[in-house]
A and B are shown apart, each in its own frame.
Chain A
Amino acid sequence: MNKKDILIVAVKLFIITAVAALCLAFVNKITAPVIENNKIITMQQTQKEVLESAIEFEKVDVKHIDSEENGTYIEDAYRGLNKEGEVVGYVVSAASSRGYGGNIRVMVGITSDMTINRVKITESSETAGLGLKASNPEFIDQYIGRDVSLTVKKNISPTNKGEDIAAISGATVTSRAVTSAVNLSLEFTKSIIEEKEGK
């Protein structure tokens, strides 16, 4: 190939990549704000789902409270307020890196009397038919009404009382990851309330 041919090839490739980059930048400019807004709306919908008694949510400043333990960490926490502006509970987003397929993110709604209202799994890469079953009511509803730190046990039936969570058959890793995220959320909420009362 002589110099002229190389130059033509380079220019053509440049044009292709330049047009591609322009298209991407253009579409990104239009869609980025919409995507961001969608994320906020989805988050608000999930918050309402896990704490129905609240109509409004306020972000709580969490940076100074200890929020990480064994691969499980708190992402953020919101105070839930009813229409009179009173605090009815908290919604905590937590994640565990110990899922079978990677990170599992949960949102935990906790009422002011430190009882778990509902848990929703917001993100997971678990296996269909096994770890993904964690989102089924049979597993996830076990957390409703609990107020203590929970342990996963195998070969027991799903329960709503005490300190045990029945593991999903064949998905103990997933069950443990979700439970550790829920436990940390409950503990974290206790710290928030203690701090508030301490003041």
Chain B
Amino acid sequence: MKKTFLNGILKENPTFVLMLGMCPTLAVTTSALNGLGMGASTMIVLIFSNMFISLLRKFIPDKVRIAAYVVIIASFVTVVEMLLKAYALSISNSLGIYIPLIVVNCIILGRAEAFASKNNVLLSAIDGVGMGLGFTGALTIIGSIREILGAGSLFGISLFGSSFQPVSIMILPPGAFLTLGLILMTINIIKERKERGNIND
């Protein structure tokens, strides 16, 4: 179980390794807080959709499983959205745009297909937590980098004085690609060094 949990955070990190959910990753990481909010909302949906689909895995016919997954996930997210708008308006307003975006996040469908349809409910829930944390961590890191360089702040707190000239491109789409690319490059360099180290031993 611990292996499943840690898997989503490092070894099979959805953003940096599996490269799933790139659209929200690039679009929503304009600040550290946005990244954190989107990651947390996605994690909650991921945990429950994994659990639901794992529960129904013997009932859903294999030939139409993707259609079934999409219906279940989209309905669940819509129900959550309606409940938030009605009974938790302030949360709904801060997370507003993220909620509908989660439905099209490939991580949800990806994990449903790769894990939840083949494992029991408990493991599926843990996978949801692990992948969710991995995703949230990745988004917060990317969002922080873009916010620090592109707006001179972190979580809304100004870091440098007013003389700081922000690199505006960082909070625009090209900045997203640049940040992600450079992070992936760094990770790959570290991985290669580790492997070369292991071969030499």
Contact = CB atoms under 8 A, between A and B. Distances in A.
Contact of A27 (B56, B61, B79, B151): B79
A13 to B, nearest CB: 5
Contacts of B64: 9, 12-13
B75 A12 contact: no
A24 B63 CA distance: 25
Interface in A11-58: 12-13, 16-17, 20-21, 23-24, 27-28, 30-31, 34-35, 38, 42
Contact of B171 (A28, A38, A129): A129
Given A20-B75, A128-B31, A13 B61 contact: yes
Contacts of A27: 79, 82-83
A67 B72 CA distance: 44
B31 to A, nearest CB: 5
Interface in A114-134: 125, 127-130
A76 B104 CA distance: 34
Contact of B59 (A12, A28, A35, A129): A12
B171 A130 contact: yes
Interface string B83-96: 10111010000000
Determine which residue in A8, A16, A38, A127 has the highest number of CB atoms from chain B within 10 A of its CB, and name it. Answer: A16
A71 interface: no
B190 interface: no
Contact of A38 (B61, B85, B172): B85
Interface of A: 1, 8-9, 12-13, 16-17, 20-21, 23-24, 27-28, 30-31, 34-35, 38, 42, 125, 127-130, 170
Dominant secondary structure of chain B at its interface with chain A: helix
Interface residues of B, number: 30
Nearest to B73: A20
A35 B61 contact: no
Given A20-B75, A128-B34, A129-B166, A34 B87 contact: yes
Interface of B: 30-31, 34, 56, 59-61, 63-64, 67-68, 71-72, 75, 78-79, 82-83, 85-87, 89, 97, 147, 150-151, 166, 168, 171-172
A125 to B, nearest CB: 8
Contacts of A21: 75
Given A27-B82, A27-B83, A38-B85, A17 B71 contact: yes
A35 B85 contact: yes
Determine which residue in B60, B61, B78 has the highest number of CB atoms from chain A within 10 A of its CB, and name it. Answer: B61
B96 to A, nearest CB: 10
Contacts of A16: 56, 60, 68, 71-72
B30 A127 contact: yes
Given A9-B63, A35-B86, A128 B30 contact: yes
Determine which residue in A23, A28, A129 has the highest number of CB atoms from chain B within 10 A of its CB, and name it. Answer: A129
A24 B82 CA distance: 9
A28 B83 CA distance: 9
A20 B56 CA distance: 13
Contacts of B147: 129
A35 B81 CA distance: 11
Determine which residue in B68, B75, B166, B168 has the highest number of CB atoms from chain A within 10 A of its CB, and name it. Answer: B75
B34 to A, nearest CB: 7
Nearest to B147: A129
Nearest to B150: A129
